[in-house]
Amino acid sequence: MLDTKNFEKTLYQDTKKAFKNIIQKYGNDLYVMGFYHTVSYSLLPMFNTLSDLKKVFEAEYNNDVSSFYMAKWNPEDYPMLEDYSEYFDETTLECQKLEDSIDLFQSDIEAMDNWHQWLTTMEKVLIQLDAEGIFSNGIEREKITLAILAYDEEESIQFKRIKRLNPPTVLAQIQADFEAMVSEREKCEQEALNAFNQKVQHYYIYAIHKV
C-alpha cells in the first residue's frame, strides 16, 4: 500500500496556489478544472475556458458538430496546461518518490490497488478544496466541472469519477455530453468487432474451399 500522506499534502498546497491564480485570471470563462494524468504517476493541472474551446473547435475540428464533445473534454486540446506545471514542481517530486517506492515485482492486483489509491488521493484534494470554497470564490460553482481525466481512458470511467467530484447541478448539465461519448465509443467498438468477425468468417470460408 502506498504512503500518500506527503503526496496529498503537497498536491493540496500546489493546487490551491495554482488554481487561485487560474480562477483569478480566467473567472467565469472557465468550465472545467482538475488534473490530467498521462503516463504512470504523473499529472498536470488541467483547465479550459469557453473562449479556448471555441477557438479549438473552429481551428482543429472545423466546427464539426459531431466532434464537439471531443473538443470539449479532450485535455490534449486544452491550451496552457504546461504553463502552470511549474506550480507543481514539488508535487512532481512526490509522484516520483511514490513511483520509486513501488515494488517492481508487485502483483497485478497490487499495481491496480496502488493506482486507484493515487487517483483517490487526487480526488480527495479536489473535494477538500471544493469544500473550502475555492471553486465558488469569484466564480459560479455550478458552471465548473471538476474532473480528473486521463489519456485514452473510457468516458464511462471518467464520468464515474466526475460524479464523485461534482454536485447534481453540475452533473445535470454535462450528463448528455458523456452519454453521447459513451454511445459513440460503443458504436465504434461494435463496428470494429463486426469488421473483425467478418474477416474471420471470410478467412474460414476461404480455408474450407481451399481444402
Question: What does the pLDDT read at residue 198?
Answer: 62
Average pLDDT, integer, range 82-103: 90
Sheet (strand 145-150) strand order:
44-49, 30-37, 145-150
More confident residue, 109 or 125: 125
Query: Which residues, other chains included, contact 171 with Cβ-Cβ below 8 Å and sequence gap of 6+?
Result: 162, 163
Kindly report the backbone phi and psi dihedral angles of residue 4, in degrees, each rounded to the nearest multiple of 5, phi listed first. -100, 10
Least confident stretch, 41-45, 50-54, 143-147, 205-209: 205-209
Residue 211 has pLDDT above 60, yes or no: no
Angstrom distance (rounded) from CA 182 to CA 178: 6
Distant-in-sequence contacts of 59-65, Cβ < 8 A, 24+ apart: none
Cβ atoms of residues 160 and 123 within 8 Å: no
How does 46-76 read in b/e, with b if 16+ C-beta sit within 10 Å? Answer: bbbbeebbeebbeeebeeeeeeebbbbbbbe
Question: What does the pLDDT read at residue 135?
Answer: 96
Residue 134 has pLDDT above 90, yes or no: yes
More confident residue, 207 or 42: 42
Least confident stretch, 3-12, 43-52, 80-89, 115-124: 80-89
